[in-house]
């Protein structure tokens, strides 16, 4: 079996990708320092895939530990690099934490696997587009000045990866620019685990519906959109996970070399109010919501052109908004009835 290092494999997107890797016949090896995840996710993964995947707990910023790991796990054929800190607001307050964690971990991986035939899949973000001039946004759209240190780490990381390809330190790299990942696995055994008050829309919705939060505030209804609230391209995390398998398969082709980048979205924009309506429709649960002021730093609208992903990555999102909402709700209910 082909061994794939999954950094951050106990996190939200990483854990779903571990499942899809196993479904596709790969052997995932997880490295995670549990800075934003729980060890119990390994047991949850076991319930889904039938065995406990190999797991190493350490901080990727520690290059020696990564070297020791590489020596003890020879034959890694690919790396999917999820591990990073991801809270946009926190990155403004603690920028050095973000530059250290997100950049050191990547540079260490590139150093340790330098010159080896190891394909790298990198978690980038639609945040690199800022507010695009044209919608839907394509991969050739200009990268806009970052709105946060977090966003900047994604831009810098893409540049580092391109330089590593140019120098020959890396041979094959695919950067995947995620739009807004939401939802949970159909078994409701894994999903998003926000620490503290969620900053993202869908976990805030599900926590409001379950009664953990009193109400949800819609951040602005005076944007130039169909109902005045912001537009995003929400994508089911299981679809997103499958795209990582597609990226590995593309890199396995003998004619693939160098750096490439793909949008991972559905190609459909939904407003915040449409998401609230979809949640109510899909779950039958009424949401207590109010309209509030705009949130600083939000772009008005963004959704992806996914033509390149369909044609070259041979991947397309399949799950609709109602499935995203019902799966997120099923996971929230699971969490309220079970301790992990
Ligand atoms: P997550 O926080 O759930 O998962 C990240 C995992 O990496 C966590 O388990 C954490 O413990 C681990 N980790 C962090 N730093 C580490 C380190 N130095 N060494 C070892 N492990 C470390 O986040 P996620 O939502 O699954 O996101 C995965 C990736 O996708 C991140 O790079 C994130 O920036 C990117 N991304 C996420 C979103 C989103 O909305 N969730 C959108 C675009 C891009
Ligand atoms: C979605 C929409 C909010 C909460 C962030 C990062 C981005 C990427 C994904 C990593 C916006 C509105 C939200 C609430 C609301 N992450 N909202 N009330 O801001 O598109 O993207 O996560 O790369 O970099 O910036 O996602 O889920 O926070 O917000 O009205 O309580 O929901 O204003 O329009 P966002 P989000």
Give 23-42 pLDDT, tens digit per residue.
999 999 999 999 999 999 99
Distance CA 18, CA 27 (A): 9
pLDDT (tens digit per residue) in 277-316: 999 999 999 999 999 999 999 999 999 999 999 999 999 9
2 burial class (0-12, 13-18, 19+ CB within 10 angstroms)?
middle
Q: Let me know if residue 145 belongs to a domain.
A: yes
Distance CA 191, CA 188 (A): 7
Instruction: Pick the catalytic residue from 150, 178, 234, 289.
Output: 150
User: pLDDT value at position 41?
Assistant: 98
Q: Let me know if residue 52 belongs to a domain.
A: yes
Percent of the residues in the chain that have a pLDDT greater than 70, as a whole number: 100
In the residue annotation, 150 being an active-site residue is answered as yes
Q: CA quadruple 112, 97, 147, 278: dihedral positive or negative?
A: positive
Cα dihedral 211/89/163/77 (nearest 10): -20
User: pLDDT value at position 134?
Assistant: 97
Q: Let me know if residue 42 belongs to a domain.
A: yes
Q: Let me know if residue 305 belongs to a domain.
A: no
CA distances from 124 to 80, 127, 179, 273, 325 (A): 11, 8, 9, 27, 24
Best probe residue, ligand 2, of 219, 289, 321, 325 (max atoms within 8 Å of C-beta): 219
User: pLDDT value at position 325?
Assistant: 98
CATH of the domain at 129: 3.40.50.720
* Domain carrying residue 64: 3-184+235-265
pLDDT (tens digit per residue) in 98-130: 999 999 999 999 999 999 999 999 999 999 999
Q: Let me know if residue 226 belongs to a domain.
A: no
Query: CB under 6 Å to ligand 2: residues?
Result: 86, 88, 125, 127, 180, 199-201, 204, 216-219, 230, 232, 272, 295, 298
Residue 11: CB within 6 Å of ligand 1?
yes
Distance CA 336, CA 340 (A): 10
Q: Let me know if residue 172 belongs to a domain.
A: yes
Contact 3, 74 (CB under 8 A): no
Give the count of domains, the chain.
1
Best probe residue, ligand 2, of 152, 205, 232 (max atoms within 8 Å of C-beta): 232
User: pLDDT value at position 252?
Assistant: 97
User: pLDDT value at position 297?
Assistant: 93
Q: Let me know if residue 336 belongs to a domain.
A: no
């Amino acid at each position: 079996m082909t061994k794939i290092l999954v950094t951050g494999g106990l996190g939200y997107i990483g854990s779903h990708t571990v499942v899809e890797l196993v479904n596709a016949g790969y052997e995932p090896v997880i490295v995670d320092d549990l800075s934003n995840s729980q060890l119990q996710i390994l047991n949850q993964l076991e319930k889904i895939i039938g065995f406990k995947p190999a797991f190493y707990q350490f901080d990727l910023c520690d290059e020696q530990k990564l070297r020791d790991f590489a020596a003890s796990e020879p034959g890694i054929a690919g790396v999917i690099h999820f591990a990073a800190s991801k809270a946009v607001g926190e990155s403004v307050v603690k920028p050095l934490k973000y530059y250290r964690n997100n950049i050191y971990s990547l540079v260490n991986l590139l150093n340790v696997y330098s010159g080896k035939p190891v394909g790298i899949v990198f978690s980038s973000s639609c945040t690199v587009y800022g507010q695009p001039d044209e919608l839907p946004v394509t991969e050739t759209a200009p990268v806009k000045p970052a709105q946060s240190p977090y966003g900047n780490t994604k831009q810098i990381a893409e540049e580092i990866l391109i330089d590593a390809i140019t120098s020959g330190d890396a041979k094959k790299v695919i950067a995947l620019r995620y739009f807004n990942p939401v939802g949970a696995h159909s078994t409701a055994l894994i999903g998003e685990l926000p620490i503290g008050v969620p900053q993202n829309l869908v976990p805030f919705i599900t926590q409001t519906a379950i009664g953990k939060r009193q109400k949800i505030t819609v951040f602005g209804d005076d944007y130039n959109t169909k109902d005045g609230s912001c537009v995003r391209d929400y994508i089911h995390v299981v679809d997103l996970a499958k795209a990582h398998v597609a990226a590995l398969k593309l890199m396995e082709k003998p004619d693939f070399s160098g750096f490439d980048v793909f949008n991972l979205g559905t190609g459909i924009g939904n407003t915040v109010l449409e998401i609230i309506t979809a949640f109510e429709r899909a779950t039958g649960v009424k949401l207590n919501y109010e309209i509030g002021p705009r949130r600083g730093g939000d772009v008005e609208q963004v959704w992806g052109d996914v033509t390149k992903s369909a044609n070259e990555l041979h991947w397309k999102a399949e799950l609709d908004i109602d499935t995203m909402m019902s799966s997120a709700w099923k996971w929230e209910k699971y969490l309220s009835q079970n301790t992990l």
